[in-house]
Amino acid sequence: MQVRLIDSMATTEPLAEVFSDRSMLQAMLDFEMALSRVEARLKIIPQAAAEVIATEANPDAFDIGALTRDTLRAGTPGIPLAKALTKRVHARDAAAAGFVHWGATSQDVADTALMLLLRRAQPLLEFDLIRVEQALQRLAEQHPDAIMLGRTLLQAAPPVTFGLKAAGWLAAVRRGSVRLRESFAEALLVQLGGASGTLAALGKQGPAVARGLADELGLGCPDAPWHTHRDRLANLVCACGVVTGTLGKIARDISLLMQSEVGEAAEPGGQDRGGSSTMPHKHNPIGCAVTLAAATRMPGLVSSYLSAMVQEHERAVGAWQSELPTIAAVIQATGVAVASVAEITEELSVDSARMRRNLDATLGTIFAEKAMILLAQNLGRDIAHKLLEEATRKAVEDKQPLAKVLGAMPEVTRHIDPTTLNRLAVAEDYLGSADSFRIQQLQSIRPTDKKD
C-alpha cells in the first residue's frame, strides 16, 4: 500500500497496509463471520444464517467512505458496520439478517478487529528487530579492539571500545524485544462481552461462544471481557515506547559519531539517501533522523494511551474512542524506527583509524584519572586531583602531551617512575573490564528466544 505523503516518515508500507481502511474493514468482517460460525455450531443461530452472513461479508461490497462518515456519528465503527452487513444479508435472506452480530456489542467488533491488526503487525516488528540484533551482534564481534573515546556529557572521557558500545546497544534491544513479545502474547485476546460485559444475551453459552470465537480467530480467550480494563494494551504500548526509546538512543549515538568533526562511523548512503538539496558534499544521518523522529513522537503517544486507561464503569465515554489512532500510531512509529535502525546497522561503516586519531588528539588528557589514581596512593585523592587539574590545564594551553607535563613536575616524578609515565597514554592499558562486559552482554543473548 502506498503511504500517505504526510506519513512518509511515520510508518512503513507494510504497516500502513496493516492499518489501512480495508484491513480494518476486513478484520471487523472476520469478527462477524467467525461469531456467526461459532454460534451456528453451538445451535444458537441457524447454520443457514451463518452461511449467508459469510457470503455477504465481502469487503469489496462495502462503501468505506460511508462507513467512515457514519462512524463519526455513531462513535464506533462497529455500529455502522453491523448495520451495513445486516442490510446486505437482509437483501439476500430477511430471516438471516436477524442473526447478524448476535449477542455482541459494537466495542466487541472494534476491539477484536484491533487485535487482529496487531497480530498482523507483530511479525513485521519482530522480523526487523531480529535484523537489528543480528547486525549489532556482528558489529560487537567484529570490533572488540576498535578503541575510541568514551564520551560523558559530550566531553572526552577515558577510552572504551566500539565493540562494547555495540554490545550495549544489542543487549538493550534484546531486552526490549523480549518485553515486546511478552506484551503481545498477553494483549492479543478476543473481546466478546455483549452489552454490559456479561454476555447475558447468550444465556449460559456465553463463555463457550467466547472460546470458540477466540479459536476461530487465532486469539487468546480472556477470563472475562475487558471493555474498560486496558492494562494489557497499555503494557504493549509501553513496551513499544521502551523499544523505540532504545532505538532512538542508538540513532543519537550514531548521528553524533557521524558529525564531520568526529567521523568515526557512518550510516549507509546512496540512492539519494542522506543528500542535501543545496550542499553536494553532505552525507546526512537520515536513518537516524527518521528513528529519532519516531522516538520524539512516542512519549506523547504513550502518555495519551495511559491517560485513556481511566475509563468509566462498563463502557467509556471518550477514552476508548481515542485509542484506535493512538495505538496505530504507536505500532507504526515503532515499526519505522526498527526498520530504519536495521538499515543503518546492517551497513554501518566504522572508522577505527579515525577513532584512534580523535583519541590521540586529546594529548592524553583523558588519562588524567589514571594518573590521579596512581598519585593518590601516596598523596591522597584531593591533592592528586588538584595536581592533575593543573597539569591538564597546562597540557591543553601549551598543546603538550599530559605525560610530558607530568614528567616536568617534581611532585609527580617522586611517585611515578618514567616508564609508567611513558605508558600513561597507552589506551590498551586503561580499558578495565571493557571486553569482559562486551562478552557478557553478547553471551546474555539467548538464540533460543528468537522467533524462527
- Tell me the pLDDT tens digit for each residue of 186-237: 999 999 999 999 999 999 999 999 999 999 999 999 999 999 999 999 999 9
Give the tens place of pLDDT for each residue, 11-44: 999 999 999 999 999 999 999 999 999 999 999 9
Check pLDDT > 90 for residue 427. yes
Give me the active site residues, please.
Answer: 276, 315
Percent of the chain with pLDDT over 70: 95
**Mean pLDDT value across residues 86-95:** 97
Where is pLDDT greater, at 161 or 449?
161
159 three-class SS: strand
- Chain-wide mean pLDDT for the chain? 95
The angle at the Cα of 117, spanning 112 to 119, to the nearest 5 degrees, equals 95
The per-residue pLDDT for 72 is 96
Q: Which three cell numbers mark 71?
A: 462512524
Structure-block grid coordinates of residue 5: 505523503
Q: Report all structural domains of the chain as residue ranges with CATH numbers, in order of start.
A: 113-189+226-361+430-452 (1.20.200.10), 365-424 (1.10.40.30)
CB 345 within 8 A of CB 265: no
Contact 22, 349 (CB under 8 A): no
pLDDT for residue 247 is more than 50:
yes
Asked whether the predicted pLDDT for residue 152 surpasses 90, the reply is: yes
Query: 280 pLDDT exceeds 60?
Result: no
Burial 157-195, CB ≥16 within 10 A → b, else e: ebbbbbbbbbbbbbbbbbebbebbbebbebbbbbbbbbb
> Residue 126: what residue type?
E
For 111-131, the pLDDT digits (tens) are 999 999 999 999 999 999 999
State mean pLDDT over 229-247. Answer: 98
Q: 30-40: buried (b, 16+ CB within 10 Å) or exposed (e) per residue?
A: bbbbbbbbbbb
